[in-house]
Chains A and B, each alone.
Chain A
């Protein structure tokens, strides 16, 4: 990749983000502007902003990488991310907007009238937000490293710095413009190169690869393995080696590796002749075994785990929820969600294309552990020349837009909770302090923890959200008998068990087999636990039903045409 084009592209995206953020600063005056853009964002702008915020690094880079590695089953990721919005629309969108709250903790306190539940929800919001921010910053580091050779920490730090500037400067109003712009940028950045890639593929005689076969190389290809990897060969393989394999050192030596498993040390360069099959990397039993790899144990269960987590987890993601408060009313919130579904559905038609072409033209990425880079490398690889470089630069700019928009939305949500529930005052100055706090912790996490693929880390955040916030929102909105003790029980048992499972998986406590699969894909059992604990806990404490439940339910479900003055006064009274 030629840095001469990629660096200006990334710089342009960063500059545009800061400029549009600064534009927001000039028109962002009041506290309400800051948190919810004064609730005046119309459906089309808001839908583009929601989509821009939602399409993260996991969507832009991660899906194509996973498809390249593991084949079409991974298509459940984009489908799940989209269907999650449908479930959100069906059960949550309009009532959540009508609740008149700013954040999830606001909703919890308003509905259950309990400070204790509010604090617990705040902890989960901050936790889930940070869990989701870490892979965004890591992805930024990886991207900048591939594009320019910059050290890994630089990309994450750059994104964190820009986000703090943009969010602290203009709050929600400026972020809305920034993210709407970034949706269209991301779509363009994938769509235009995709058109050229498909044309090049046509001109190449429309080759196609079978997914059940190992990927074959179409030209001589050199691969540098960064981390130690085990490969399994079904047939002898002739390669040129520089580095160490099975403990023996080679220097530009032509070697035929026998059938069986071989260990390649980190830093080894392998050159495969044209037409040879790229060996599949063995799932190692080391701590950072990627989730997607562990699918191999029980693929059907893993697929269902993914479906449950993404379908039900979307509604609880802190940066997704906070967006609904910016719609003028419940009806607009619903219509906005339909537009969002169409926008993200249109976007998700593209990553699979990159995944399929990546399998054809860049199969060696399966060995290097950098499959997330497939989207970035394809234009140069397939098209080449000046055109390839320019298209590559466009993709790089889009990738940075993905990191920036999702990271700023998450920072906004986490900082909102921190400034309301942790820091003493709610003024704009404290919000700015909270923004710094909200970014520093995940940045430290991104620099310390490495080796968890972007899409996997995001999947874990979805599982935690599905097991804690989904029961709280669905039961809170539709069930009058929910009590604060029941909600606490559900949050702790459902969300807690999912968090523990995710922690054990990342920590590498359980190596393989069913225990590992169950912990790596917790949603299938942790979501029912969350719902069950909340229902049983509430039924066991019928005396604790909040006194104003009936009034709250009325506010959540009554159309605005009947409650105009109610919501207006409630919204003003809560924050001012």
Chain B
């Protein structure tokens, strides 16, 4: 699927250098952001639905929404999240390999710039 990871960046992550930690932190941040977005949609829906049902007072609506309508929505949120999480991991793998392929002398410096930068683009 992609090239085997480069030795240099790989060992940085393994050995817990500051740079390696920064890499992992940026991955965690982007994954957590994807997770919180999906969870936020779920929590907001779950929090407002009981109030909505109470105000509406029509059992038929409750039957339809909770009995049938909500399951496709749950699967859709899950599907979106998995796509997002896998993309984050692909981007991260590309970043780690990209750092390795650049000249050895400034490889570390460009990678340390790239880690927060990729994190910033993720939010848009």
Chain A residues engaging chain B, CB cutoff 8 angstroms: 71-73, 75-76, 78-79, 82-83, 85-87, 89-91, 94, 210-212, 300, 303-304, 307, 311, 331, 334-335, 337-338, 341-342, 345-346, 348-349, 352, 356, 478, 550-551, 553-554, 557-559, 561-562, 566
Contact = CB atoms under 8 A, between A and B. Distances in A.
B31 A554 contact: no
Interface string B22-56: 00100110011001001100100011001101100
Interface stretch (B79-87, B105-113, B115-123): B79-87
A75 B75 contact: no
Contacts of A75: 62-63, 66-67
B46 to A, nearest CB: 5
Contact of B27 (A303, A304, A558): A558
A90 B63 contact: no
Given A478-B32, A553-B24, A566-B14, 11 more contacts: A72-B63, A75-B66, A78-B66, A338-B78, A341-B78, A349-B68, A352-B63, A553-B28, A554-B21, A558-B27, A562-B93
A227 to B, nearest CB: 29
B2 A561 contact: yes
A554 B20 CA distance: 9
A303 B50 contact: yes
Contacts of B1: 561
B81 A342 contact: no
5 contacts: A72-B63, A72-B66, A341-B75, A349-B71, A557-B28
7 smallest A-B Cβ distances: which pairs?
A: A345-B71, A75-B66, A72-B62, A559-B89, A211-B59, A352-B67, A90-B35
A94 B85 contact: yes
A551 B20 CA distance: 10
Contacts of B13: 554, 558, 562
A338 B82 contact: yes
B16 interface: yes
B119 to A, nearest CB: 14
B1 to A, nearest CB: 7
B63 A87 contact: no
Nearest to B24: A554
B27 to A, nearest CB: 6
Given A83-B46, A562-B10, A331 B86 contact: yes
A540 B80 CA distance: 38
Given A211-B59, A304-B50, A90 B14 contact: no
Nearest to B46: A307
